[in-house]
């Protein structure tokens, strides 16, 4: 009897272990497939049907307010908008701001006073901060939208906006987690960091940690909130102390790659061999990848493409076409192998190819 | 003690003698003050010692208290080696603040100077290909220049140092954005990174020893040179110092220029630690530096801004933050720690000064 029970228990245990191993290896295979998919050069997929952009934008003008012009990320997106407006041939104003709500408000008021047709708050400017001004602008007949702020799948566009062109942050988060799983063969101990007050942090963070949990039974992760204003003072001690408390951490995954500048010294001082994998394709981080060994992979997206895709969505809104709420800008993986294509020093637009320029031109009926 | 000089306005030589006598009188007052302190050292009363070493005792107690919860990390040498190495630039920035504070001036531009120095090194080294030593010299000269500009506006126009340095700090932030084209610049020569964090003694990155050396130099100047005494004297009462023959203007200019130079050194350490320079992050270190300077003034030489006190204060605050990190406490606690630390430190300083209203 006892022997029988022992045999049954052993069989059950072996079965469970086999099952878990199966889950783990399936997770690793899925992770590798995802990495393979996003390591390919981006291809252009039209966000909607073609239309005559020149004709519909002939009497319309667009006003873009970036989070701050002092941030090269926002400046690069704005440049994409400016380039697109030049291609189509309509008036576009890129408003100068320095991360100040007074400047944002002044921008909205100027757009209303000068009778623009659409205001776009791009690259993380939180529309929630400007509800009274947005309401006033909409009452005056302007359309108000936001580009590259909300997540395309987990966040909804607020009622006080006419529309928004959103980013697929969830896929980006999955790619980051998949990379760590694939590289460690399912043995990830990750430290995830991000500023909770920024809109895309939640979908990125949840996608990274959720993917690890769902696809990797032997993986673990811990999250630290580092508000943007405290990046310089808190990131390094927080990462350093986390690495000291748990030396088995093998990946540090900041949701925005600009945090890497504070994480690299923490890893060096703590004597850890952890690697950094992150998102944004920020040029100086790609430079750090090229020149060192700590930044291992970065998920980037062409910001010129983001600007053109945002312009496309806005034109459709102004022209009364079927709305587009998801940017068609694909994520793309940079590693040591292809980082040279991003330029030296790297830029926000190099390395992704330029299929989007011809793609959008064809879509807008421009030769 | 010398006798009071007889007042008179006769021959120049007599006036000179009177002047000399007054200087001697002040020197002797200072030395009697020191002697009285020295006597207290010989026969220490518990209150003085508690003041002098209170922060050191609190530091040990803090380690023990946090160690009770996380002994593996709090009692590991590696934790302290790591912490010592990563705070070198905060020590340097605190020391930069301390000199004008001693002469009674506030320099709110030190963090901006640290950022400017960091960016100058990155731009010169990465963008223009200049070797690190030359870039460091130019960065320190830029720090001196900012100090001299601050001093000019404070002394020539008679504007409060808070207003001038608030303005120049903001101005410098614009200059940093301008010279960097608003970009973070990576790829600073590995030589600098090796010279700051990758070389270690006793497991501690070498940057810590630079900060220690700087602390030692400033401590020596204030404690054992007449220059240090004069700086202190200017801070205690400008008019009295002036009437006593101390060149107050020169002392204050010197203090502001030194603050600029040392803040620039903090920028060198900051760049060496990261290998990158960004346009804005250095500004976040102003409050931690103020907190450490004021907390430091309550210990070692209580009631006086002093280098060893500031040194201890930086690591006391960092130990607290490290322990809270180990305990998994949310990061907002760091704000409570630094902000609360500053207010408590100033309150203790005021108690030591007999709650005399601050200027």
Is the CB of residue A270 less than 8 Å away from at least one CB of chain B? yes
Which chain A residue has the Cα nearest residue B183?
A72
Average pLDDT over residues A200-215: 95
Is the CB of residue A288 less than 8 Å away from at least one CB of chain B? yes
Whether residue A6 is contained in a domain is answered as: no
* Nearest residue to B93 via CA among B203, B277, B222, B218: B218
In a mutational test of the B interface, the residue from A269, A292, A348 whose CB has the highest number of chain B CBs within 10 Å is A269
**For residue B47, what pLDDT is reported?**
73
Whether residue A208 is contained in a domain is answered as: yes
For residue B322 the two structure tokens come to 């490290």
Number of structural domains in chain A: 2
> Which CATH architecture does the domain made up of B49-352 adopt?
Orthogonal Bundle (1.10)
Strands annotated E in A2-117: 61-66, 91-94
Q: Spell out which residues of chain A touch residue B82, defining contact as CB-CB under 8 Å.
A: 240, 244, 269-271
Q: What is the C-alpha to C-alpha distance for residues B140 and B133, in angstroms, rounded to an integer?
A: 11
Average pLDDT over residues B105-117: 97
**For residue B50, what pLDDT is reported?**
76
A211 and A131 in a common domain:
no
Which chain B residue has the Cα nearest residue A244?
B79
- Distances, alpha carbon A123 to alpha carbons A13, A78, A142, A303, in Å: 51, 9, 20, 10
A256 and A320 in a common domain:
no
Express each pLDDT in B156-190 by its tens digit.
Answer: 999 999 999 999 999 999 999 999 988 889 889 99
| Domain residue ranges of chain B, discontinuous segments joined by + | 49-352
Using the 8-state DSSP alphabet, how is residue A192 labeled?
A: E
The answer to whether B82 contacts A240, with C-beta atoms less than 8 Å apart, is: yes
Q: Which is higher by pLDDT, A232 or A150?
A: A150
Is the CB of residue B334 less than 8 Å away from at least one CB of chain A? yes
What's the ipTM? 0.75
Whether residue A113 is contained in a domain is answered as: yes
Q: Spell out which residues of chain A touch residue B273, defining contact as CB-CB under 8 Å.
A: 265, 269
A96 and A201 in a common domain:
no
**For residue B12, what pLDDT is reported?**
57
**For residue A101, what pLDDT is reported?**
85
A174 and A33 in a common domain:
yes
Is the CB of residue A132 less than 8 Å away from at least one CB of chain B? no
Which chain A residue has the Cα nearest residue B276?
A261
Q: Spell out which residues of chain A touch residue B284, defining contact as CB-CB under 8 Å.
A: 229-233
Residue A247: domain span: 28-38+170-280
pTM (two decimals) = 0.82
Looking at every residue in chain B, the average pLDDT score rounds to 88
Express each pLDDT in A120-178 by its tens digit.
Answer: 999 988 899 899 999 999 999 999 999 999 999 999 999 999 999 999 999 999 999 99
Whether residue A18 is contained in a domain is answered as: no
Which residue among B85, B276, B330 places its CB closest to the CB of A225? B330
Is the CB of residue A247 less than 8 Å away from at least one CB of chain B? no
Whether residue A211 is contained in a domain is answered as: yes
Distance (Å) from the C-alpha of residue A289 to the closest C-alpha of chain B?
10
Is residue B263 a contact partner of residue B143, using CB atoms and an 8 Å limit? yes
Distance (Å) from the C-alpha of residue B303 to the closest C-alpha of chain A?
28
The answer to whether A232 contacts B284, with C-beta atoms less than 8 Å apart, is: yes
Which residue among A224, A227, A284 places its CB closest to the CB of B183? A284
Which chain A residue has the Cα nearest residue B173?
A70
Residue A17 has pLDDT above 60, yes or no: no
CATH classification of the domain holding A59: 3.40.50.2300
Residue A7 has pLDDT above 70, yes or no: no
Which residue among B70, B198, B325 places its CB closest to the CB of A268? B198
Is residue A51 a contact partner of residue A364, using CB atoms and an 8 Å limit? yes
For residue A126 the two structure tokens come to 């939180």
How many C-beta neighbours within 10 Å does residue A3 have?
A: 7
A161 and A75 in a common domain:
yes
Express each pLDDT in A89-110 by its tens digit.
Answer: 999 999 988 878 888 999 999 9
How many C-beta neighbours within 10 Å does residue A7 have?
A: 10
Whether residue A294 is contained in a domain is answered as: no
């Amino acid at each position: 009897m006892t022997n029988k029970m022992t045999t049954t228990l052993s069989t059950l245990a072996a079965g469970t272990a086999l099952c878990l191993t199966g889950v783990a290896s399936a997770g690793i295979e899925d992770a590798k497939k995802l990495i393979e998919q996003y390591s390919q050069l981006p291809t252009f997929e039209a966000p909607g049907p073609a239309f005559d952009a020149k004709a519909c934008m002939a009497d319309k003008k667009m006003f873009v307010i970036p989070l701050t012009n002092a941030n090269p990320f926002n400046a690069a997106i704005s440049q994409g908008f400016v380039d697109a407006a030049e291609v189509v041939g309509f008036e576009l104003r890129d408003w100068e701001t320095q991360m100040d709500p007074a400047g944002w408000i002044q921008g909205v008021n100027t757009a209303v006073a000068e009778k623009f047709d659409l205001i776009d708050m791009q690259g993380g400017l939180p529309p929630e901060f400007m509800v009274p001004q947005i309401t006033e602008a909409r009452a005056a007949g302007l359309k108000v939208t936001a580009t590259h702020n909300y997540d395309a799948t987990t966040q909804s566009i607020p009622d006080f906006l006419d529309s928004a062109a959103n980013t697929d942050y969830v896929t980006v988060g999955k790619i980051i987690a998949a990379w760590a799983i694939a590289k460690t063969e399912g043995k990830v101990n990750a430290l995830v960091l991000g500023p909770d007050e920024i809109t895309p942090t939640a979908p990125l963070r949840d996608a990274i940690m959720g993917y690890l949990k769902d696809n990797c039974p032997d993986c673990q992760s811990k999250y630290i909130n580092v508000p943007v204003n405290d990046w310089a003072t808190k990131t390094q001690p927080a990462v350093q102390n986390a690495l000291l408390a748990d030396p088995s951490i093998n990946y540090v995954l900041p949701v925005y790659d600009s945090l890497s500048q504070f994480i690299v010294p923490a890893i060096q001082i703590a004597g850890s061999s952890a690697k950094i994998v992150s998102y944004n394709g920020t040029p100086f981080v790609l430079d750090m990848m090229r020149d060192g060994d700590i930044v291992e992979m970065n998920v980037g997206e062409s910001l010129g493409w983001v600007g053109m895709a945002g312009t496309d969505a806005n034109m459709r809104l102004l022209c009364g076409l079927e709305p587009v709420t998801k940017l068609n800008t694909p994520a793309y993986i940079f590693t040591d192998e292809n980082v040279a294509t991003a330029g030296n020093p790297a830029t926000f637009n190099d390395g992704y190819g330029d299929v989007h320029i011809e793609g959008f031109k064809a879509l807008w009926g421009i030769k | 003690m010398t006798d009071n000089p007889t007042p008179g306005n006769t021959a120049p030589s007599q006036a000179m003698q009177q002047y000399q006598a007054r200087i001697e009188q002040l020197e002797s007052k200072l030395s009697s003050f020191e002697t009285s302190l020295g006597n207290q050292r010989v026969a220490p009363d518990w209150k003085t010692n508690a003041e002098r070493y209170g922060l050191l005792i609190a530091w040990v107690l803090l380690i023990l208290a946090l160690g009770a919860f996380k002994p593996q990390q709090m009692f590991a040498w590696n934790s302290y080696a790591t912490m010592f190495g990563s705070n070198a630039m905060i020590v340097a920035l605190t020391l930069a603040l301390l000199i004008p504070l001693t002469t009674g001036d506030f320099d709110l531009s030190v963090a901006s100077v640290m950022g400017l120095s960091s960016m100058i090194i990155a731009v010169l080294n990465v963008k223009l290909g200049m070797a690190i030593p030359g870039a460091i010299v130019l960065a320190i000269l830029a720090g001196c220049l900012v100090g001299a500009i601050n001093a000019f506006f404070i002394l020539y126009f008679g504007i409060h140092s808070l207003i001038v340095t608030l303005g120049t700090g903001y101005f410098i932030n614009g200059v940093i954005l301008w010279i960097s084209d608003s970009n973070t610049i990576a790829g600073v020569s590995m030589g600098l990174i090796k010279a700051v964090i990758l070389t270690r003694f006793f497991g501690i990155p070498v940057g810590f020893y630079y900060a220690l050396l700087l602390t030692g130099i400033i401590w020596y100047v204030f404690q054992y040179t007449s220059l240090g005494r004069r700086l202190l004297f200017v801070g205690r009462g400008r008019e009295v110092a002036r009437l006593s023959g101390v060149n107050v203007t020169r002392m204050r200019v010197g203090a502001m220029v030194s603050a600029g130079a040392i803040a620039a050194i903090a920028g060198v350490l900051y760049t060496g630690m990261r290998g990158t320079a960004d346009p804005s992050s250095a500004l976040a270190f102003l409050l931690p530096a103020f907190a450490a300077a004021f907390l430091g003034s309550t210990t070692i030489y209580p009631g006086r801004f002093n280098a060893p006190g500031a040194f201890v204060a930086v690591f006391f605050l960092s130990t607290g933050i490290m322990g809270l990190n180990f305990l998994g406490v949310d990061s907002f606690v760091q704000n409570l720690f630094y902000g609360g630390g500053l207010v408590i430190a100033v309150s203790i300083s005021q108690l030591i000064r007999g709650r005399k209203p601050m200027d």
